């Protein structure tokens, strides 16, 4: 059994043992009591009348002068019978008690063996369900090809369910990959359309044959082509960086100093002040570089969405029982609806000049790797509120679904 799986309760085995002991021993106790009573009545017959008869016969034989050897042998046999009767009376309770103890031991052993036989498949199913809960659908429980009883049939059906779930997950993964490629294709088409259109117009101006070559027109067209090529290069680098995001390296991170460092960094280029609100100073296990990239993207979005003269961008920290919540509030144009989960990576569109649309997907990927959640919602009074919940300890490797 896995070390992190708590042992199942043994209440069923205890109940089975109690039921078998009660149903087995109660009749034995009653039968033993009745047998003891019967034996006591049978062995309570007194030999005094027989001894009196023997004494009268002995006196008669003595008067007549006959031999008393046979009579003496009868008296000896009678005495031995009396001793045997008394020994049997003494030993009967002990024999009944020994019978009860042996019966109790046999019933206990039978209850233990039966309990193990009944609970072993249940424990096996528990291990299988624990593996499935961790996302490991490759686990197959030991089960015969042809089940001989209901419990073995249950194991066979459990394995069948696991194979069907694994097949469904593969189909879902394929569908998600196709949908992801469709999103990427739509995003690339959207982002490439504008620079390609500008480049096409610049080339059309260069190829016009309605007059002598114009140095100014040529210089403007070449400059426009250079700008659009540079934009395409920046987009290419952004997509390449997204594809090569490094794996997280978890270590203890003091979150407040990290956020204060980012606030000071973006304060220099932000059109509005960036303020970190007072609060707790939590420490969590996280990838510091990933957190800088995560909150840097969110702060960049918040400051770029804030017009000059608007209220400051506010960051706040809140320590919850199982996680840390970081909230980033701006007073920009806001968003029309709540964005979370797959909605954060759908489309990859950007409304900023030169933007690649990868800021939120990168943030969502980093939050996902830390086992947390990212949620964007319209803020009361205008603007956008971004909330990031990060657990104090990241999930074990392999438990975060892809």
According to DSSP, the β-strands at 373-378 and 313-319 are: unpaired
Structural tokens at position 76: 């000896």
pLDDT-above-90 percentage for the chain:
11
Alpha helices in 44-68, H assignment, sequence order? 48-64
- Beta carbons within 8 Å of 146's beta carbon, 6+ residues apart: none
Contacts 24+ apart (CB under 8 A), 197-204: 198/224, 198/228, 199/224, 199/225, 199/228, 199/229, 202/228
Residue 237 in this model has a pLDDT that exceeds 80:
no
Average pLDDT over residues 355-382: 82
Alpha helices in 207-328, H assignment, sequence order? 215-243, 255-267, 288-305
Summarised one tens digit per residue, pLDDT across range 95-133 is: 777 877 887 788 777 777 777 777 777 778 888 888 888
According to DSSP, the β-strands at 313-319 and 323-329 are: antiparallel
Tell me the pLDDT of the chain averaged across its residues.
77
pLDDT for 398 equals 46
Positive or negative, the Cα torsion across 142, 143, 149, 150? positive
pLDDT band at 328 (very low <50, low <70, confident <90, very high): very high
Residue 318 in this model has a pLDDT that exceeds 50:
yes
Residue 277 in this model has a pLDDT that exceeds 70:
yes
Structural tokens at position 169: 């997950």
Q: Which residue is listed with tokens 């070559």?
A: 213
What separation in angstroms does the CA of 95 have from each of 32, 85, 89, 91? Answer: 9, 15, 10, 6
Alpha helices in 244-344, H assignment, sequence order? 255-267, 288-305
CA distance 351 to 305: 10
Half-sphere exposure of 273 (CA within 13 A, CB side): 6
Contact 194, 364 (CB under 8 A): no
Summarised one tens digit per residue, pLDDT across range 45-84 is: 666 666 667 677 777 767 776 666 776 777 777 777 777 7
Please list the residues that pair with 325 across neighbouring strands. Answer: 318, 389
Residue 389 in this model has a pLDDT that exceeds 90:
yes
What is the per-residue DSSP string for 124-171? Answer: HHHHHHHHHHTT-TT------SS--SHHHHHHHHHHHHHHHHHHHHHH
CB neighbour class for 266 (10 Å; exposed up to 12, middle 13-18, buried from 19): middle
Half-sphere exposure of 152 (CA within 13 A, CB side): 8
Contact 195, 318 (CB under 8 A): no
Structural tokens at position 47: 């030999």
Summarised one tens digit per residue, pLDDT across range 137-188 is: 888 888 877 877 777 888 888 888 888 888 888 888 777 777 766 676 666 6
| DSSP 8-state assignment for residue 339 | E
How many CB atoms are closer than 10 A to CB 401? 9
Contact 325, 372 (CB under 8 A): no
How many CB atoms are closer than 10 A to CB 201? 14
Residue 242 in this model has a pLDDT that exceeds 80:
no
Half-sphere exposure of 4 (CA within 13 A, CB side): 5
pLDDT band at 402 (very low <50, low <70, confident <90, very high): very low
How many CB atoms are closer than 10 A to CB 352? 12
Q: What are the phi and psi torsion angles at 379 (to 5°)?
A: -85, 145
Residue 347 in this model has a pLDDT that exceeds 70:
no
Name the pTM for this structure. Answer: 0.51
Residue 385 in this model has a pLDDT that exceeds 50:
yes
């Amino acid at each position: 059994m896995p070390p992190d799986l708590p042992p199942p309760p043994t209440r069923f085995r205890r109940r089975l043992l109690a039921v078998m002991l009660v149903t087995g021993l109660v009749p034995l106790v009653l039968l033993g009591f009745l047998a003891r009573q019967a034996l006591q009545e049978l062995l309570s017959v007194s030999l005094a009348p027989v001894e009196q008869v023997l004494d009268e016969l002995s006196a008669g034989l003595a008067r007549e002068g006959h031999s008393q050897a046979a009579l003496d042998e009868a008296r000896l046999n009678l005495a031995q019978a009396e001793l045997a009767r008394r020994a049997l009376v003494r030993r009967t309770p002990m024999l009944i008690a020994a019978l009860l103890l042996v019966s109790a031991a046999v019933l206990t052993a039978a209850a233990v063996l039966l309990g193990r036989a009944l609970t072993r498949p249940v424990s096996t199913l528990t291990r299988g369900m624990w593996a499935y809960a961790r996302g490991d659908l490759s686990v197959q429980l030991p089960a015969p090809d042809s089940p001989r009883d209901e419990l073995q049939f249950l194991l066979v059906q459990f394995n069948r369910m696991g194979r069907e779930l694994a097949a469904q997950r593969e189909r879902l993964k394929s569908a998600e990959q196709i949908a992801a490629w469709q999103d990427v294709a739509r995003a690339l088409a959207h982002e490439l359309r504008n620079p390609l259109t500008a480049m096409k117009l610049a080339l059309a101006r260069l190829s016009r044959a309605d007059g002598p070559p114009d140095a100014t027109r040529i210089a403007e067209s070449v400059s426009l082509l250079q700008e659009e090529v540079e934009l395409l290069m920046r987009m290419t680098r952004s997509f390449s960086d997204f594809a090569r995001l490094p794996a997280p390296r978890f270590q203890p991170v003091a979150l407040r100093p990290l956020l204060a460092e980012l606030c000071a960094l973006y304060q220099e280029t932000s059109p509005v002040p960036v303020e970190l609100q007072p609060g707790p100073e939590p420490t969590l296990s996280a990838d510091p570089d990933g957190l800088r990239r995560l909150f840097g993207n969110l702060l960049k979005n918040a400051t770029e969405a804030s017009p000059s003269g608007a209220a400051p961008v506010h960051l706040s920290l809140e320590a919850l029982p199982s996680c840390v919540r970081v909230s980033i509030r701006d007073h920009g144009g806001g968003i029309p609806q709540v964005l979370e989960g797959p909605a954060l990576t759908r489309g990859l569109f950007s409304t900023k000049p030169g933007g690649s649309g990868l800021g939120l997907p990168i943030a969502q990927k980093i939050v996902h790797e830390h086992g947390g959640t990212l949620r964007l919602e319209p803020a009361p009074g205008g603007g956008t509120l971004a909330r990031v919940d990060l657990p104090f300890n990241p999930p074990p490797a392999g438990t975060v679904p892809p």
